[in-house]
Amino acid sequence: MQPACLEGLPGLETRLSHLSSEEVAVALEPLRARLLENLPPDESKALPSAALGVCRRLFAHGRSRDALPVARATLAHARSVNDDFLMRRAYAACGLLLGDVGDIVGAIEHHMRALELATEAKDSIEIARVWNNLGMAFAVCGNYELQMRCNLRVVDAVRHIEGPVYSRYTACSNAANGKYQLGEYDEGLRYARRALAELTPAFLEEDLHGALLLRRNFTYLLIATGNVEEAREHAEEVSKLAHRIQTPRAKVAEATTRAALEIATGGFDIALTRLDQALTRAREVPGLLRDTLVCAVRCEEAAGQPDRALLRLKELADHVYDFAIERARKIVRLDDSSTDSQGAQDRELQQANARLASKVEPREVPEGWDALRRVAIGAALRVDPTGWHGVRVGALTKALALEHGCRPLEAMEMGLAAELHDIGLASVPQGVLAKSGAPNEVERALIRRHIDAGAEILRDDRAPRILVAREIARYHHARWDGIGYPERVGGQFIPLAARMCSIADAYDDLVSGAPGFEAHSMNDALHVLGRAAGSEFDPALLVEFETMVRKQTREQDIDAEAAPGLEGFRQLIASLEEDRGFA
C-alpha cells in the first residue's frame, strides 16, 4: 500500500508551472516530515527512493530550491539508519540541487562527502559519478578548466572497464560543453563524438535530458566548425527528445538549438521569432534565462542585428547582476531559519545597540555568516581554481591591521570581513570572466559592477562584521589618488579596512598569478606594489605591509626570493592564520 504522504504527488508535476513555492512546500511537507520519523522496514527503502524521484522531477522543472527540504530530509533519514548507499545518493541529490540554486561551495561539500563514501566502498562507478557531479558544480560557476579536470578524473576512474560506461558517457558529454564554452570547438567535437559512441539505449532512457543536452552541444559545436548539415541531424534529435520530455528545460534547449541552426542556414526571421518565444519561456524559470540570453546574443549578432544583440547583452548583464544578488541572499536565508518580526524602529535600535556593544564586548558570529563565506568562495572559484583567494586576502588583511596597530579583535574582524571582498563577482557574466586577454570597455564596466553587487548582497549591516565587509566590498578598488572605482573616492575618505584589503588583494593576485597577472616571487610582488605607492595604494599602509611580510618570511624561514610558486606563500598564509591568542 502506498504511504499516505505520497498521495497526490503523482499529479504534482503537471501542476508545477501553476504553483507557487509556498504551495509546493505545503504539498511536500507530509513527505518531508515522514522521512524524519522512524520508518518501518518496508517504507525505509521505498520512501527515500520516491523522495529522490520527486527531487529529480522538481530539478527538471527548474524548482531545485523547492526540492531541497525533501532532499535534506532524505539525507537525514539515510544518516539515521546508517545506509551508506542511500547516503551517497542523498548527498549527490543535495549537491546537484545546491549547485543549481548557486550555492557552489555547499554543492562541493556534499559531493566531497559522497566521494569519501564511494572511495571507502571502493566503488569505481560511484567514484566516477561523483567526479561528474563535481564537474557540473564547477561548470555552474563558470570555471570550465576545473570542470575538465573533473571529467578527466571520471575517465581515469573507469579506465579499467571495457564497453560503455554511463559515467564516462556523461563526462565526455559535459566535456564537450566545457570545450564549447572555452571556444575549443575541435576538441569539443572529439568529446561529443566519444560521448555519442558510449550512448546506449539504456543510458538514453535513464537520462533523456542528458541525451538532449549532448545533442544540443553537438549541434552548437558543428555549427561553430561549419558542419551545418551534420548539425541538422542532431537538431532533429533534440526536437524528438524535447517532445518526449516536455519540461521547461527541454523546451528552451530545443528552441535555442533550432534557432542556432536557422541562423546558420539563413533563416533569420524564423530564428529570431523562436528566440523571443524561448526567452518568454525562460523568464518563467530564472535558472534558464542566462544561457538563453547568451544564445540570443550570439544568434542576433550572427543575424546582422547588432542593436538587438546589444539590448540582449544589457539584459544579460542586468540579469546576471540581479540574479546573483538575489541568489546570494536566498542562500543565506536557506541557512537561517529565524524570522524577523520586528518593526523598523526596533531594527534601528538593534543596529545601534550592536554597534555600541561591539566596542566593549567580543563580537558574536553574525547570522548567515557561514552561508556568506560559501557564496564568496563560490564567486572566487570563477577566477581562482583553489577558491581560497578571499581567505588568503583575509589573512593578509588581518596581519596588516595588527602591524598598523589595530587591537587584536578589531584586526581579526577586519580579516574575516575581507574574506568577502569579491562576493559580488557572482554578478559578472561568466563569459566576461573567462575571456582571455584584456577586457574591452563594456566588459570592464561589467566587472566593475561587482563592487555594487557585493555591497547589495551585504546590505544588512546590523552585524558590525557585515558592515565592515560591506565597506570593503564597495571600496576595495578605490585608489588613493581617487581615479579608481567608485570614482572620486580617494585618500583618507576610503575606509581603512578597504585600503588594507586593496593592498592584500593586489599582493595575492601578483604572487598567485591570478588571471591577467604574471606570477611573481613574494619579494618581486612587494617591489611591484611599491611602485604604486601614493597613486593606487595608501603609502603609509604599504610600508607597514612590506614590513609585516618581510618580518613574517624571516621568522618562518621562507625564501621570499624563490621563483614564482605558491609553496612559500602558502606557508606564509598558514602562519598568519594561526590563532595568536586573541580569538
pLDDT in tens, 135-152: 888 887 777 888 888 998
Instruction: List the single range of 147-161, 302-316, 499-513, 516-530 with lowest mean pLDDT.
Output: 302-316
> What end-to-end distance do the CA atoms of the chain give, in Å?
57
Distance between CA atoms of 296 and 360, rounded to whole angstroms? 56
Closest to 135 measured CA to CA, from 157, 107, 166, 164:
107
Phi and psi torsions of 384, nearest 5°: -125, 110
Closest to 321 measured CA to CA, from 240, 219, 423:
423
463 SS3 class: coil
464 and 354 Cβ atoms separated by less than 8 Å: yes
533 SS3 class: strand
Residue 221 pLDDT: 94
Higher pLDDT, 366 or 67: 67
List all residues 6 or more positions away from 254 whose beta carbon is below 8 Å from its beta carbon.
212, 238, 239, 242
Distance between CA atoms of 334 and 558, rounded to whole angstroms? 42
Q: Is residue 247 part of a domain?
A: no
Distance between CA atoms of 16 and 63, rounded to whole angstroms? 9
Q: Is residue 231 part of a domain?
A: no
Last residue of a domain, one of 78, 104, 122: 122
| CA dist 63 → 137, 247, 248, 391, 466 (Å) | 17, 11, 11, 32, 30
Residue 327 pLDDT: 61
The CATH number linked to 480 is 1.10.3210.10
Is the pTM of the predicted complex or chain greater than 0.75?
no
* Sign of the dihedral through C-alpha 25, 77, 62, 450: positive
Q: Is residue 309 part of a domain?
A: no
Q: Is residue 413 part of a domain?
A: yes
User: Is the pLDDT reported for residue 187 higher than 90?
Assistant: yes
CA atoms within 13 A on the CB side of 574: 8
At 113, is the pLDDT very low, low, confident or very high (cuts 50, 70, 90)?
very high
Residue 547 pLDDT: 94
Last residue of a domain, one of 122, 148, 164: 122
Percentage, residues of the chain above pLDDT 90: 35
Question: What b-and-e string marks burial along 388-412, b requiring 16 or more CB atoms within 10 Å of the CB?
Answer: bbbbbbbbbbbbbbbbbebeeebbb
Q: pLDDT tens, 401-434? A: 999 988 888 899 899 999 999 999 888 877 777 7
457 and 329 Cβ atoms separated by less than 8 Å: yes
490 and 480 Cβ atoms separated by less than 8 Å: yes
Residue 7 pLDDT: 67
At 267, is the pLDDT very low, low, confident or very high (cuts 50, 70, 90)?
confident
Report the pLDDT averaged over residues 347-356.
43
Distance between CA atoms of 471 and 451, rounded to whole angstroms? 10
Phi and psi torsions of 349, nearest 5°: -65, -40
191 and 176 Cβ atoms separated by less than 8 Å: yes
537 SS3 class: strand
* Sign of the dihedral through C-alpha 364, 467, 98, 88: negative
Number of domains in the chain: 2
Q: Is residue 22 part of a domain?
A: yes
Last residue of a domain, one of 122, 156, 191: 122
Higher pLDDT, 402 or 342: 402
Highest mean pLDDT among 50-59, 134-143, 346-355, 511-520: 50-59
State the angle between helix axes of 389-404 and 369-380 in degrees (0 to 180), rounded to the nearest 10: 110
User: Is the pLDDT reported for residue 581 higher than 70?
Assistant: no
Residue 1 pLDDT: 53
Q: Is residue 342 part of a domain?
A: no
Residue 270 pLDDT: 86
Q: Mark residue 95 as left, alpha or beta (left: phi above 0; alpha: psi -120 to 50; beta: remaining).
A: alpha
462 SS3 class: coil
Residue 286 pLDDT: 56
Residue 231 pLDDT: 94
| CA dist 52 → 55, 92, 100, 475 (Å) | 5, 10, 16, 44
Q: Is residue 427 part of a domain?
A: yes
Phi and psi torsions of 564, nearest 5°: -50, 130
**Backbone Cα Rg of the chain:** 25
DSSP 377-434: HHHHTTT-TTS-HHHHHHHHHHHHHHHHT--HHHHHHHHHHHTTTTGGGGGS-HHHHH
What is the chain's mean pLDDT, rounded? Answer: 83
Q: pLDDT tens, 446-495? A: 888 899 889 888 876 567 788 889 889 999 999 998 888 887 788 888 88
User: Is the pLDDT reported for residue 254 higher than 50?
Assistant: yes
Residue 9 pLDDT: 67
Question: How many H-runs (helices) and E-runs (strands) does the chain carry?
Answer: 29, 0
Q: Is residue 282 part of a domain?
A: no
314 and 299 Cβ atoms separated by less than 8 Å: no
State the angle between helix axes of 450-457 and 464-475 in degrees (0 to 180), rounded to the nearest 10: 170
274 SS3 class: helix
Higher pLDDT, 438 or 121: 121
The CATH number linked to 22 is 1.25.40
Residue 533 pLDDT: 93
User: Is the pLDDT reported for residue 162 higher than 80?
Assistant: yes
At 332, is the pLDDT very low, low, confident or very high (cuts 50, 70, 90)?
low
Q: pLDDT tens, 192-225? A: 999 999 999 999 998 899 999 999 999 999 999 9
What are 143's three cell numbers? Answer: 570555471
Highest mean pLDDT among 159-168, 302-311, 497-506: 497-506
At 324, is the pLDDT very low, low, confident or very high (cuts 50, 70, 90)?
low
At 346, is the pLDDT very low, low, confident or very high (cuts 50, 70, 90)?
very low
Structural domain for 499, as ranges: 367-577
**Residue 25 neighbours by CB distance under 10 Å:** 15
Residue 8 pLDDT: 64
Question: In which residue are the cell numbers 534547449 written?
Answer: 253
Q: pLDDT tens, 523-538? A: 999 999 999 999 999 9
User: Is the pLDDT reported for residue 496 higher than 50?
Assistant: yes
User: Is the pLDDT reported for residue 306 higher than 90?
Assistant: no
| CA dist 421 → 108, 209, 333, 475 (Å) | 21, 38, 20, 9
Question: In which residue are the cell numbers 539590448 written?
Answer: 311
At 95, is the pLDDT very low, low, confident or very high (cuts 50, 70, 90)?
very high
Instruction: List the single range of 218-222, 258-262, 312-316 with lowest mean pLDDT.
Output: 312-316
Distance between CA atoms of 96 and 292, rounded to whole angstroms? 21
Report the pLDDT averaged over residues 274-283.
79
What are 364's three cell numbers? Answer: 558574536
Q: Can the peptide bond before residue 306 be classed as cis, meaning omega within 30 degrees of 0?
A: no
User: Is the pLDDT reported for residue 583 higher than 70?
Assistant: no
CA atoms within 13 A on the CB side of 166: 16
